[in-house]
Structure 1
Amino acid sequence: MKHIFREYDIRGIFGTEINPSFTKALGFILGKIMLNKNAKSVSVGYDTRLSNKVLNNALIYGLNKAGIKVYSLGLVPTPLGYFSNYACKIDANIMITASHNPKEYNGFKITINKESFFATELANIYDEVALYLKDFDNKIEDTEYEELDIKTKYIEFLQKEFAHLKNANLNLAIDTASGAACKVVANILDTLNIKYAHYFSEFDGEFKAHEPDPTHEENLFAIKNELNFSDFRSPCPTPLYKNGYVKNTATLGFGFDGDADRVVCILKDKIIKGDELCYLFANDIKNPKILCEVKCSKIIFDKINELGTCTMCKTGHSNIKKVIKEQNIDLAAELSGHVFFNDKYYGYDDAIYSMLRIIELYLKNPDFIGVLNKLPKSYSSDEIKIKVKEEDKFNIINTYKEKIKSLNLNAKLIEIDGVRLEFENGFSLLRASNTSPYLVARFESISEEKLKEINDFTYKLLNEIIKN
């Protein structure tokens, strides 16, 4: 069970790795920790997964046993849990979600006193949770909590912040992946009277339409169809056409993950990566202070540093939020679509807020392609996931790192998160995923030939390590 305590959250398969008795013990331990940190209240919410109501009951029961005040948010996007800490002055938050993972997974994202509870602190509670497991069973319990309508407060906040977008002459394609964003995205776009086509707009904890991960291009088929991608046609269900939207007139699309803390922005024939979004916004911020994680483009780092500063950090929302506070960063992003606005917002990853900021920027200058085309020409891989055993992934990375050091390559070695090698003409990255049993690789270079060289070098070395 220890492996489900990951770097920045708890995540595992419901039934075998996460069940109600475990969740009760977890709630009890977390409640005690919160009280020890002088956090006297906690909000609890969950996404659309079928196991969530059972786990919600178990978590609140454990929190009740600890003696902490509980506010129930119900089914809401993860960012609304964070928002409750700011808008309602609630001291802590736990979101029951497995984010973009397949339907059989579930998990917990924990915030105490507006800071992520992660890394060593999270790992260190495993023994306590295991110790108390014997005191809890899998029964549904009577629980005590106060219901809190955070959705209304959140929509009112966005309506006020983005009042200037009302009646904007814009056509959007939206895919909320049957996840937690479905209703809130619709509510705010309806409130602002923006025209949009809404795909997979109803909650479905089985994610029958597609997995709730917009970073996999195959999951963006509906938006690509709606935007008339020149190389793509696919049978799609009929979406909801809202606020006067006319079929196939969209110029801008957004794909959300299961709990709405990350978003992918799509133009016709172009899927914009998280680091590219950072560059677009950096051009609109005076002397920008930007934060990008290790998977991001070397060219993006170099070009933002010409406009202001661009700092590199570890992957993961918890790591990024910590650095944002420490360095007073304006904007941060992961390649995978987590975007963190500290400029005019609270510095956490909120896909719905990010969508509205992107719309705002697009209306100011819709030539996103023109801005991105000013970057030096480069070739890059997508984020490549390499399946390995959960218990092996960090050992493989450590062995790979030692092998790289022994080769004395003409490259800069960055060990912030895994192994990033920066060559004169590009970079390679190999790191262990903190949420799944994968290694993650990414490559970039100034030519397709050099890209292949970097790719082949990495895989040759990696395959030797795995074989041995």
Structure 2
Amino acid sequence: MDLSCFKAYDLRGRVPDQLNPELAEKIGRAYVEVTGAKKVIVGYDIRLSSPDIAEALSEGLMAAGADVFDIGLCGTEQVYFATSHYKMDGGIMVTASHNPRDHNGMKMVGPESRPISSDNGLNDIRDRVLEPFSNAPNRGGHEPLEVMAAYVDHLLGYIDAGSLKPMRIVCNAGNGGAGLVIDQLEKHLPFEFIKVHHQPDGSFPNGVPNPILPENRAATADAVIEHGAAMGIAWDGDYDRCFFFDENGRFIEGYYIVGLLADQFLRKTGGGKVIHDPRLTWNTLDLVKAAGGEAVESKTGHAFIKQRMRDEDAIYGGEMSAHHYFRDFSYCDSGMIPWLLVAERLCQSGHTLSSLIDARIEAYPASGEINRTIDNPAKVIAAIEAQYSPDAKSINHVDGLSIEYDKWRFNLRMSNTEPVVRLNVESRADKVLMEEKTEELLAEMQRLNEAG
């Protein structure tokens, strides 16, 4: 049996050769045997293969003795919400997020929506799939569960509705599931939504929803300009990530959104801890300190960030990859809470989004993440460290290599899944220096790669 769909954090693979209903049924059985779960939330995204895979998964869960609470078509964060809100033993979301249209997958959580990944059960589930199964003495039941109303109420709890003013917002669901939530939120908000690629459609007539790809941004940017909107928002297919565009249609790097949200949250709470990843840090550190918070660095990746947030009881965590995590959302990531907070900030401050962001880009210009294919990533990173460390102010290895100087810093890290090295560079208010150092590092990486 092909089990290549099992990855480090979740399951993803091509349908039907890497993931299909037959395998999904076995995964359901294995999930119950490994976790001991008795009550499990199941939801699925808009992909055409998702209902059949979710049905087979549910069949396996019930055959193994677990009760299935079926929340139907939804986003990943609704599985997280339902699992913790209704105090279930676990939850499984059938989704392949922004993977190609012929793919599907699963994201799994345990009690309190704690992630199940390769270091705490996912590999055990994979290994158990290969063994024969027998039915549980008592078959589990199946019950539909309506979670949208409770979920929308929870989302609205993050903002002060009384401070909101009429505002025009472009929202691009990319034919994923986000439009269903916007339609429900719309009833409670004074905003006018310009809806782009709004209808859920698993055939993805406008391409797979992945706004991080530059070629996928034009539809949102153009609509912002055409309609004179205050901002634009775009989501991936299962809407656990959201991406922002200012009133000029400019795409905003996720790094600057982390700082904005940290600042907004700390203003509300009057302090607390904020978790951030090590790729780009200075803007976040600056804003968190100014707002009376404490910044804590964590290794990149949702399982690491969520665990660190629990350890530190952090109020918010953010990654520049557009994942934003919230303590009151079971430390999970949401693609809906961030834009509500940014909209609230625009209403309360009277500022445009560009004016809030421009000053930060000027203070800490950044390269954005640049990927390079490298034959021997570890060797190249070690050579860069030897070359750049003598004059460094600080060096750390929280995630890859981070080297800091007075005026600039960089992070260099390997991909977990491919021979790629990811570079991020930032400076203190010196865009030219940032650009020079970025080019210098890229040239050096190329030279080292060619030298073998």
- Give, in angstroms, the shift of residue 334 of structure 1: 1.1
- Give, in angstroms, the shift of residue 178 of structure 1: 0.6
1:146 aligns with 2:143: yes
Residue of structure 2 in register with 1:379 after alignment: 365
How far apart in 2 are the matches of 1:463 and 1:122? 41
Amino acid in the other structure paired with 1:383: E
- Give, in angstroms, the shift of residue 97 of structure 1: 1.0
Residue of structure 2 in register with 1:280 after alignment: 260
- Give, in angstroms, the shift of residue 224 of structure 1: 0.9
Amino acid in the other structure paired with 1:431: R
The 1:438/1:58 distance shift into structure 2, 3 A limit, reads farther
Residue of structure 1 in register with 2:29 after alignment: 28
Residue of structure 1 in register with 2:245 after alignment: 266
Residue of structure 2 in register with 1:461 after alignment: 445
1:251 aligns with 2:230: yes
1:53 aligns with 2:61: no
Residues 271-310 of structure 1 aligned to structure 2 (within 5 Å): 271-284=251-264, 285=266, 286-307=270-291, 308-310=293-295
On the 8 A contact 2:69/2:144 being kept in 1, the answer is yes
- Give, in angstroms, the shift of residue 118 of structure 1: 1.5
On the 8 A contact 1:4/1:17 being kept in 2, the answer is yes
On the 8 A contact 2:262/2:284 being kept in 1, the answer is no
Amino acid in the other structure paired with 1:292: H
On the 8 A contact 1:18/1:106 being kept in 2, the answer is yes
How far apart in 2 are the matches of 1:29 and 1:294? 36
Secondary structure of residue in 2 paired with 1:57: helix
The 1:49/1:79 distance shift into structure 2, 3 A limit, reads same
How far apart in 2 are the matches of 1:51 and 1:459? 44
How far apart in 1 are the matches of 2:448 and 2:199? 47
Residue of structure 1 in register with 2:209 after alignment: 212
Secondary structure of residue in 2 paired with 1:379: coil
Q: For residues 19-58 of structure 1, give each alpha carbon's deviation from its aligned partner in whole angstroms, at most 9, with x where no partner exists.
A: 23332222211111221xxx42110111111221221122
4+ aligned runs moved over 6 Å, structure 1: none
CA RMSD of aligned residues (A): 2.9
Residue of structure 2 in register with 1:364 after alignment: 348
Percent identical pairs in the alignment equals: 24
Q: For residues 250-277 of structure 1, give each alpha carbon's deviation from its aligned partner in whole angstroms, at most 9, with x where no partner exists.
A: 1121111110111112212333333322
How far apart in 2 are the matches of 1:381 and 1:301? 18
Q: For residues 415-459 of structure 1, give each alpha carbon's deviation from its aligned partner in whole angstroms, at most 9, with x where no partner exists.
A: 222333333332333334457785433222333344333343245
Residue of structure 2 in register with 1:334 after alignment: 319
- Give, in angstroms, the shift of residue 78 of structure 1: 0.8
The 1:184/1:123 distance shift into structure 2, 3 A limit, reads closer
On the 8 A contact 1:181/1:259 being kept in 2, the answer is yes
The partner residue of 2:405 within 423, 428, 445 is: 423
On the 8 A contact 2:166/2:190 being kept in 1, the answer is no
- Give, in angstroms, the shift of residue 319 of structure 1: 1.8
Residue of structure 1 in register with 2:15 after alignment: 14
The 1:102/1:382 distance shift into structure 2, 3 A limit, reads farther
Q: Unaligned regions of 5+ residues in structure 2, if any? A: none
The 1:93/1:197 distance shift into structure 2, 3 A limit, reads same
The 1:283/1:211 distance shift into structure 2, 3 A limit, reads same
1:441 aligns with 2:385: no
Q: For residues 213-240 of structure 1, give each alpha carbon's deviation from its aligned partner in whole angstroms, at most 9, with x where no partner exists.
A: 1222332212211222xxxxxxxxxxxx
- Give, in angstroms, the shift of residue 126 of structure 1: 6.0
The 1:193/1:453 distance shift into structure 2, 3 A limit, reads closer
- TM value normalised by structure 1: 0.83
The 1:8/1:380 distance shift into structure 2, 3 A limit, reads same
Q: Unaligned regions of 5+ residues in structure 1, if any? A: 137-141, 229-246
How far apart in 2 are the matches of 1:219 and 1:257? 11
On the 8 A contact 2:280/2:425 being kept in 1, the answer is no
Residue of structure 2 in register with 1:164 after alignment: 161
The 1:105/1:436 distance shift into structure 2, 3 A limit, reads farther
Q: For residues 112-138 of structure 1, give each alpha carbon's deviation from its aligned partner in whole angstroms, at most 9, with x where no partner exists.
A: 012111241245326524523x769xx
The count of aligned residue pairs is 434
Residue of structure 2 in register with 1:124 after alignment: 123
- Give, in angstroms, the shift of residue 405 of structure 1: 4.3
On the 8 A contact 2:262/2:287 being kept in 1, the answer is no
How far apart in 1 are the matches of 2:181 and 2:205? 21
The 1:397/1:268 distance shift into structure 2, 3 A limit, reads same
1:350 aligns with 2:348: no
How far apart in 2 are the matches of 1:401 and 1:125? 33
The partner residue of 2:171 within 147, 171, 174 is: 174
On the 8 A contact 2:68/2:140 being kept in 1, the answer is no
On the 8 A contact 1:10/1:109 being kept in 2, the answer is yes
The 1:436/1:147 distance shift into structure 2, 3 A limit, reads farther
Q: For residues 38-81 of structure 1, give each alpha carbon's deviation from its aligned partner in whole angstroms, at most 9, with x where no partner exists.
A: x4211011111122122112211221232111111111011111
The 1:374/1:149 distance shift into structure 2, 3 A limit, reads same
The 1:129/1:206 distance shift into structure 2, 3 A limit, reads farther
The 1:414/1:14 distance shift into structure 2, 3 A limit, reads farther
How far apart in 2 are the matches of 1:168 and 1:144? 46
On the 8 A contact 1:397/1:419 being kept in 2, the answer is no
